[in-house]
Structure 1
Amino acid sequence: MKLPSIQLLRSLAALLVAIVHGAGFERTILQENGSVEAPLVSGLFLNGYAGVDLFFVISGFIMVWVTRNQRHGPVAGIEFLFARTTRVYPVWWFAAGLMTFYALGLQNSMFATIGQVTDAAPTYSGEYILRSFLLLPQADYPILAVGWTLIHEVYFYVVFALLILAPRAFLPIGLLVWGGLVVAASFLMPLPATATNFLTLVVHPMTMEFIFGAVIGQMVISGVSWRTGTITVIAAIWLTAALCLQGVADAFTLKWGRVLLFGFPCAALIYGVATLDIQGRTVWLLPAFVGALVTGMLFQLYPTSLDAPYAVRAEALILPVIVGGGAALMVVWAGWLGGQKLPGATLRLGLALRSLHEAVARSGDWSYSLYLTHLFSFGLVKWGFGWLGQHDALAPFFRIGQPGIWDNLLFIACGLIASLIGAYITYHLIERPALAAATMVRRALFSKGSSARGY
């Protein structure tokens, strides 16, 4: 069973990553056009890489959730690993294949706009491409750079499959031991921001985010429920504040810094929304959304750059958090008052909001495809804007760097729309058929299995 609110968070995580990469495309275009204009995407949106942290915590939660009714043992572990790898690899091979086609043969065409995370392009040796397709750690990013997170994901799946070999009662202890080893080992040796070999992969701090999610999953399936509505509101504002507070990424930020700053609010948010889904109380997502939105919008009004000192950013965040919390309380109060004075209208509004929530949550089905294909979509939009911007009549809207914000705004909007369309197409043409085929094979091999069903 899929939880709609978790699907919604998956979509949010992918969009955060798409926005921060869209900002990178915007900066590149401004530099190419010789413009000194400041990019439109700024402030907390430049920390959208935290969508990866949200993905990792969600992944840990989902692993526990989808195996909650499964008997542990060797067969269950093998089935779990089969289910998860067949979920990840087909779409990855499609996206990495497109990138390989571009890298090896189309670098002078219109697609020569799809960048890597790093400026230095790796050498496209056979070993490099093979390790990229197999999602094995190496010194360089995979050929499609966003795949570095999937290397961590596959590692998570392997270890979780090993934990499933033991009786279910052992799972909390196994997670505790796993986390303890990661903490101890990561402090005993220097680590790069991303795993470059199997050793640095095993002890990388971001593993703790997966463990956070798994612990939350254990709590949810055990029926632990305490003030989940309030926790959801606080966690939403907390995560928004973390996005605002984070400055320029550095060596600490990209390792333990992101775990401490983003991992905890992501875990609290997932606990809240998952429990609210189970209890049928997703109306609490409305004050959480309003509180986070007001907090983020107010912070954006402050002229605070990422390279501003921590104290300056923290001071600029005080008022937005207070007002955002107040806005969330106002929504809660309005809902209570409406329930007292206009119960019929309030009920109809609540049902309409729930339908909207479920409709938007369906985009979570495409989140994996969105994550892997958005660079291609933004690259295509970048090429299109470059072609249209050559015409003087269209320059105010399509030549990035013109006076005003409309050219920048249109580029980001078109990039996100193209990313969603591309994700929808990829999901229905590649991801969904591959998942259906893998499910048929899994059911034939493991007739009584249930792992990964629903996600």
Structure 2
Amino acid sequence: MKLQSIQILRGLAALLVVLYHIRAMEALAIGRNGLSEMPLLNGFVTNGFAGVDLFFVISGFIMVYVTEGMRAGIRSSLDFLFARVTRIFPLWWVFAGLISVMFVINGAIGFEDVWNRVRQGEPLVSYLVKSFFLVPQTAPPVLGVGWTLVHEMYFYAAFTLMLLVPRRFWLWILLAWGAMIAGGSAFGLTKPFAADYSALLFYPMTMEFIMGAVVGLAISSGIAWRSGIVTLVAALWLTASLTFQGMEDVNLLMWGRVVWFGLPCTLLVYGFATLELSGRQAWLVPVGIGALIAAMISLLYNLVAESPFSDRLGATIVTVTVGALAMLAVLWAGWLAGQARPDRIRAMTPGFQTAYRSLARVGDWSFSLYLCHPLLLAPVRMAFAEAAKVPWLAPVFQLGHAGPFDNIALIVTSLAVTLLAAALSYRFIERPMIIGFGKLRERLFDRKPEPVAAS
């Protein structure tokens, strides 16, 4: 059974990464115009890369959740591996191929150094082969966000081996896996980028996958303790981490992000999943409203990575306090209204259900959104640069122009374009692939295909 709440988290993770890259494009456009205005998207967005941490936790959870009831053995392992490989590679090849074509065109029109900058010394053929098959190398894959898929394929390979062992041993395997990573770190084997197999094996962010898998085992065992409170705390914790964390240094790229972002994301996945399985999604209303208000407060502080510690600490305290008060206010108002005017609460239910389904739909598009948005943000920026050459359009299209209209226009346009492209990609490319490979999987392994949006 597909969990809509987990799809919502997938959608939020993808949007967080998209906003992070929109901010980078916003700053680049301002600089290209020779202006010095700060981007409008600051605050929690400066740490939007944490969407990847949430993806990794979700991945670990989903792997355990979708394999519940599978019998240990080679057949189950091959079944699982086929499902994962056909889920990742076909769509990855589509977008990696598109970006490769863009690089070829750039080279043909006089930007021969593009490949050299991207490859970072890797021979071209070797670089492309490793990129398309998600093999570790010194440079990021041809489509930069693919570095996370290198880790995903490692997770899937490890989990394929776990499926050879009865499920009752999985917790011990996961604990041993985590101990191996910690031990490797103690012996100096941890690196900030998985440029080879050794660095991949001991990369600290693998702990987030392991934590997600442990959550999956806990939930499948029927453990559901204070799900509502845990979800409230996790949302505030993640908001605090996004607001407070400063510079992207080596420590953050290794163990730092596991602590800052991995732990609250783990609690968030636990909370969302257990609330849905127990039919108590109403808790997500105060969680969502409180987190949204806290995020808006974080944006108003206009923090950047270089902001002083005292500024970041003060903003974090206010952000979390206001978010917590908003959550409590919604809980209190909901309880009072439920006692005095239950008909009013029931009348609001369809609206909340519509919002719930809409957010889950973005989660369905999340893989397409994650892969397609880097290809679209640069053309949007260039289109704005061309429009800004018309004097009367400059207030809206010239990034860095006085006033917020140019920034808002870029952000809204970028979100609209990437979401539309993701929806179309899902509908006409990704979903047909899932259905087609699902039918092939059914014939090969004599089983029903997975639900279309599961991943």
- TM-score bracket, normalised by the shorter chain, equals over 0.9
What is the root-mean-square deviation in Å for CA atoms of aligned residues? 2.0
Paired residues of 1:12 and 1:51 also in contact (CA < 8 A): yes
Deviation at 1:313, TM superposition (A): 1.6
CA distance in 1, matches of 2:304, 2:106: 37
Letter in 2 for 1:226: W
- Describe how 1:177-216 pairs up with structure 2 within 5 A: 177-216=176-215
Q: Distance in 2 between matches of 1:406 and 1:15?
A: 22
Secondary structure of the residue that 1:138 maps to in structure 2? coil
Aligned partner of 1:157 in structure 2 is 156
Distance 2:449 2:173 in 1: 21
- CA apart distance, 1:358: 1.7
Return the letter of the residue paired with 2:289: V
The amino acid of 1:327's aligned partner reads: A
Moved more, 286-295 or 58-67: 286-295
Q: Which residue of 2 aligns with 1:397?
A: 396
User: 1:20-419 alignment to 2 at 5 Å?
Assistant: 20-107=20-107, 125-302=124-301, 304-419=303-418
**Are the aligned partners of 1:67 and 1:452 in contact in 2 as well (CA < 8 Å)?**
no
CA distance in 2, matches of 1:193, 1:151: 14
1:4 equivalent in structure 2: 4
Partner of 2:392, secondary structure, is coil
Matched ranges for 1:435-446 at <5 A = 435-446=434-445
CA-to-aligned-CA distance 1:302-360 (integer Å, 9 cap, x gap): 35432234354223311221221111001001110011000111122134312320232
Matches of 2:409 and 2:310, distance apart in 1: 34
Contact 1:193–1:255, Cα closer than 8 Å, also in 2: yes
C-alpha distance in 1 between matches for 2:172 and 2:231 = 27
* Cα deviation, residue 281, structure 1: 1.2
Corresponding residue pairs, total? 451
Tell me if the contact between 1:287 and 1:329 (Cα under 8 Å) persists in the aligned partners: yes
For the Cα contact (< 8 Å) 2:189–2:198, is it kept in 1?
no
Which is further off, 52-61 or 230-239?
A: 230-239
Distance apart, 1:119 and its partner CA: 7.8
Residue aligned with 1:394, SS = helix
The whole-number CA distance in structure 1 between the counterparts of 2:318 and 2:17 is: 27
Tell me the distance in 1 between the aligned counterparts of 2:400 and 2:385.
12
Query: Residue type of the partner of 1:322?
Result: T
The match for 1:14 is 14
Note the residue ranges of structure 2 that are not aligned, 5 or more in a row.
Answer: none
- Please give the per-residue CA displacement for 1:36-63, whole angstroms capped at 9, x wherever unaligned: 1111111210100000000000000110
Counterparts of 1:122 and 1:428 in 2: how far apart (Å)? 38
The answer to whether the 8 A contact 1:232-1:268 is kept is yes
Deviations 1:59-83 (A, max 9, x none): 0011011001211211101110110
Q: 1:119 to 1:248 in 2, by over 3 A?
A: farther
Residue aligned with 2:247, SS: coil
On the 8 A contact 2:181/2:201 being kept in 1, the answer is yes
Identity in percent = 42
SS of equivalent residue, structure 1 residue 135: coil
Could you tell me how far 1:380 is from its partner in structure 2?
A: 2.0
User: Is 1:70–1:450's contact at 8 Å kept on the other side of the alignment?
Assistant: no
The AA in structure 1 aligned to 2:391 is: D
CA contact (8 A) 1:182 1:205 kept: yes
Unaligned ranges ≥5, structure 1 = none
Is the alpha carbon distance of 1:159 and 1:225 closer, same or farther for their aligned partners in structure 2, counting shifts above 3 Å? same
The 3-state SS of whatever aligns with 2:179 is helix
CA deviations 1:408-429 (Å, max 9, x no partner) are 1100110011000111111122
Partner amino acid for 2:61? F
**Partner Cα separation in structure 2 for residue 452 and residue 357 of structure 1:** 19
Give the drift of 1:212. Answer: 0.7
Indicate whether 1:426 and 2:394 are aligned.
no
- The CA distance in 2 between the partners of 1:416 and 1:124, in whole Å, is 35
Q: Larger deviation: 123-132 or 44-53?
A: 123-132
Residue 182 of structure 1 deviates from its aligned partner by: 1.1
Do the aligned residues in 1 keep the contact of 2:2 with 2:451 (CA within 8 Å)? no
1:390 to 1:62, Cα distance in 2 relative to 1, 3 A: same
Letter in 2 for 1:47: N
CA distance in 2, matches of 1:124, 1:37: 39
Question: Alpha carbons of 1:108 and 1:348: their partners in 2 closer, same or farther (altered >3 Å)?
Answer: farther
Q: Contact 1:398 / 1:407 at 8 angstroms: preserved in 2?
A: yes
Q: How far off is 1:450 after superposition?
A: 6.7
Q: CA deviation at 1:138?
A: 0.1
Distance in 1 of aligned mates of 2:329 and 2:287:
11
Structure 2 CA distance for aligned equivalents of residues 23 and 438 of structure 1 = 36
The structural deviation recorded for 1:383 is 2.0
Is the CA contact (8 Å cut-off) linking 2:119 and 2:139 kept in structure 1?
A: no
